[in-house]
Amino acid sequence: MANILITGGTGLVGTKLTSLLEKKGNRVRVLTRSPKKNNEFKWNLSSNYIDEEAFKNIDYIIHLAGAGIAEKRWSKDRKKVIIDSRVNSANLLFTKVKELDISLKGFISASGTGYYGAKTSEHIFIENDPVGSDFLGEVCNKWESAAMQFKALKVPVSVVRTGIVLSEKGGALEKMRTPIIAGLGNGNQYLPWIHIEDLCNFYIRAIEDKLEGVFNAVAPEFHTSISFSKTLAISTSKPFTKICVPSFLLKIAFGKMATILLEGSRVSSKKIEDLGFEFKYPKLSSALKELF
């Protein structure tokens, strides 16, 4: 049983993770801009403020906070928000932990498979592959670097590079469940994915086994945009069209952000499987069946 502080705890993953952690007897606190519950504490990045009560007897910090990558078009200002929401928040946590001289047992940070860049290739990416040269690579690299500074305080750091998170409500699936389901672009790009329960279970595993290092949190089954869309259509009993949404339409609609829809490579889960982590939903069909 541990005392755990979560940033982004009111979001999609944070809400589920809080529930699972508490079921296992852990005590969870959440940092939020608008506290409403007894376990919620206020923080404000613009004024560098965190309620210090949140840190009392804390064992672990799980850093999930960050502005949505796919919520808005990537204007110059939006790109700054995406990076600052991840990096400045980690920096603030680091400053407070150092100031209060807290002996953390671990700092666990979210990241994304976008670390490897938004590109389609035959390569299957593993954790020690180089960072991508595009915006997504920049975001994840700066995000992870901010987390790694906790090593200077002799705090073990874990980084969880996550694919598309599948959940019943919210997230990517809610946007994909249109009346007619289709692939995107040429349909050959890969979509690294993971069921939300498997993702949360890995965060819990990182705490219980005191894991340290970088880990790809993706399901072992690979899917292209076309095969993913077909499986989704079957699972939701909706029609599937073999004609993919053209790239130029996606670029008109989403601007530069369309790259996350049009490009994608396979990402390996071998490292966490070698640790003995067992996926509850290793196949997309079983994951979607449980959700729908």
Strands 157-162 and 106-112: parallel
How confident is the model over 77-113, as pLDDT tens digits?
A: 999 999 999 999 999 999 999 999 999 999 999 999 9
Q: Identify which of 264, 262, 187 has the alpha carbon closest to the alpha carbon of residue 227.
A: 187
> What is d(CA 195, CA 144) in angstroms, rounded to the nearest whole number?
23
- What would the two tokens of residue 267 be? 């990402």
- What would the two tokens of residue 131 be? 């960072």
> What is d(CA 102, CA 37) in angstroms, rounded to the nearest whole number?
24
For the residues 132-136, what does the mean pLDDT come to?
95
Residue 170 predicted with pLDDT over 90: no
How confident is the model over 192-217, as pLDDT tens digits?
A: 999 999 999 999 999 999 999 999 99
Mean pLDDT of the chain: 94
CA end-to-end span of the chain: 33
Q: What is the pTM of this model?
A: 0.95
**3-291 sits in which CATH class?**
alpha beta
The pair phi, psi for residue 113, each rounded to 5°, is: -65, -10
Residue 37 burial class via C-beta count within 10 angstroms: exposed 0-12, middle 13-18, buried 19 and up: exposed
pLDDT class of 179 with cuts at 50, 70, 90: confident
Please report the pLDDT score of residue 252 as a whole number: 82
How confident is the model over 264-292, as pLDDT tens digits?
A: 999 999 999 999 999 999 999 999 999 98
Percent of the chain residues past pLDDT 70, beyond the cut: 100
How confident is the model over 29-86, as pLDDT tens digits?
A: 999 999 999 999 999 999 999 999 999 999 999 999 999 998 889 999 999 999 999 9
Is residue 40 helix, strand or coil?
strand
